[in-house]
Amino acid sequence: MAAQPPRPVGERSMGSPREAARAPARSPDWAPTQARTPGAALVGQRESPESGLQEHYSNLCMEKSQKINPFILRILQEVDEEIKKGLAAGITLNIAGNNRLVPVERVTGEDFWILSRILKNCLYINGLDVGYNLLSDVGAYYAAKLVQKQLNLIYLNLMFNDIGPEGGELIAKVLHGMQSVIAFATVLTRNQAIKAINLNRPILYGEQEESTVHIGRMLKENHCLVVLHMCKHDIKNSGIQQLCDALYLNSSLRYLDVSCNKITHDGMVYLADVLKSNTTLEVIDLSFNRIENAGANYLSETLTSHNRSLKALSVVSNNIEGEGLVALSQSMKTNLTFSHIYIWGNKFDEATCVAYSDLIQMGRLKPDNTDVEPFVVDGRVYLAEVSNGLKKHYYWTSTSGESYDHSSNAGFALVPVGQQP
């Protein structure tokens, strides 16, 4: 599979002791048909190579007649160098194809097959970012296998890959049976499970929301997942109903991102109802849907009278007018837990501008916790946009070193899990 010229790539976090594994080849029981499937599986006998990850990767590519990806090789070389320095923390491998300032060869499903063979027993690696690559359903198949084998993996980013409904279903099925064993009384407890997953922008076919149904089933049984991103997932009202039904039973999810979907005010009936009893959700991103005044009123009523756990809500660009926006502002006056709200892109009237200006002036709404700022012209209050949000800089990488502002990526500050932007 030919690699495409990528966009530039970011930095990666490093960490701790070293162990790698190799396995004798055998044909996989199943693999998707969208792309060529490598002729070896991810199971077999463990073997800890004397060499580092870089040499192990090169040898495995030669053994399996697989072309060496220089991007992966360079990342593994950097990991080996960091390990020699004696780092003791967990490592997150950043092999994303979009955020380096030099050209890289994007990772294909076949590349990921080799990589997963190396990583499945590397207990010191607990995070993997392979976003913006060319994985397809073949890559999703091996990602699912890796999740099953590598119990220390707590962060996996697959966003912006060509993963279809088959691949998404595979990953959802793997998470069905996952249980999080968290170290409570002793640091020796090592069993962990995925805590954050990004399923943004899958390639979907049909109108049945099948992938959302599977994610809903997974949430009913999975009690370790903390962060779920389902942006651009073609979720409609029936899909949000599936997710909300699952949230009655789920007691771990704290961050739900369903932005850029097709959810209307009817879907807010289900979300508002589950929020009356759910005490876990802290961040909800509804940006770029169409909940309108009715949906905002449903949420406002719940946040005013029932829910005391939600901290942040984004309703950016939801066709909400003054009535709904003012209702949400009123809920902040009685609900002291509700501290972050993002409203830009809706229809502001004078009452809206005054309401949010008052919240900011009285100190109830901190300027860093919203995406609007009041100003006065000829005695009338207006609202201007400021660069704050739940994930305002999620797709942005500084060209001059580390640059991270909690006000721009508040969702990750409120619910920190793994290696976040």
* Counts for the chain of helices (H) and strands (E), in that order: 12, 11
CA–CA gap between residue 125 and residue 122 (Å, rounded)? 6
- Cβ-proximal residues to 361 (8 Å cutoff; 6+ apart), any chain: 374
pLDDT for residue 174: 67
Q: Tell me whether residue 44 is exposed, middle or buried, using C-beta atoms within 10 angstroms of its C-beta: 0 to 12, 13 to 18, 19 or more.
A: middle
pLDDT for residue 317: 96
Task: Report yes or no on 336 lying in a domain.
Answer: yes
Task: Report yes or no on 15 lying in a domain.
Answer: no
Which of helix, strand or coil describes residue 377?
A: strand
DSSP per residue over 106-140, as a string? --BHHHHHHHHHHHTT-TTEEEEE--SSB-HHHHH
Element (H, E) at 59: helix 53-63
If one counts the domains in the chain, the total is: 1
CA–CA gap between residue 382 and residue 364 (Å, rounded)? 18
CA–CA gap between residue 182 and residue 187 (Å, rounded)? 9
pLDDT for residue 218: 79
CA–CA gap between residue 68 and residue 58 (Å, rounded)? 7
pLDDT tens for each residue of 334-363: 999 999 999 999 999 999 999 999 999 999
Domain of residue 240: give its range: 53-414
CB 25 within 8 A of CB 128: no
Task: Report yes or no on 370 lying in a domain.
Answer: yes
CA–CA gap between residue 230 and residue 247 (Å, rounded)? 15
- The residue among 316, 172, 145 whose CA lies nearest residue 233 is 172
Which of helix, strand or coil describes residue 5?
A: coil
pLDDT tens for each residue of 239-281: 999 999 999 998 889 999 999 999 999 999 999 999 999 999 9
- Cβ-proximal residues to 241 (8 Å cutoff; 6+ apart), any chain: 267, 270
pLDDT for residue 361: 94
DSSP per residue over 277-321, as a string? T--S--EEE-TTSB-HHHHHHHHHHHHHHT-----EEE-TTS---
Sheet with strand 155-157: strands edge to edge = 91-94, 125-129, 155-157, 196-198, 227-229, 255-257, 283-285, 312-314, 340-342
Question: 295: domain CATH number?
Answer: 3.80.10.10
Task: Report yes or no on 305 lying in a domain.
Answer: yes
pLDDT for residue 312: 95
Q: What is the mean pLDDT of each run of 10 residues along the chain (421 residues)?
A: 36 35 36 36 36 84 89 88 72 80 84 87 82 86 82 80 80 53 22 66 66 80 84 91 93 93 96 95 96 96 94 96 96 94 95 96 94 94 92 61 66 73 46
0.85 surpassed by pTM = no
CA–CA gap between residue 50 and residue 20 (Å, rounded)? 9
Task: Report yes or no on 16 lying in a domain.
Answer: no
CA–CA gap between residue 82 and residue 92 (Å, rounded)? 12
In this structure, what token pair is assigned to residue 121?
A: 């027993």
CB 22 within 8 A of CB 47: yes
Task: Report yes or no on 13 lying in a domain.
Answer: no
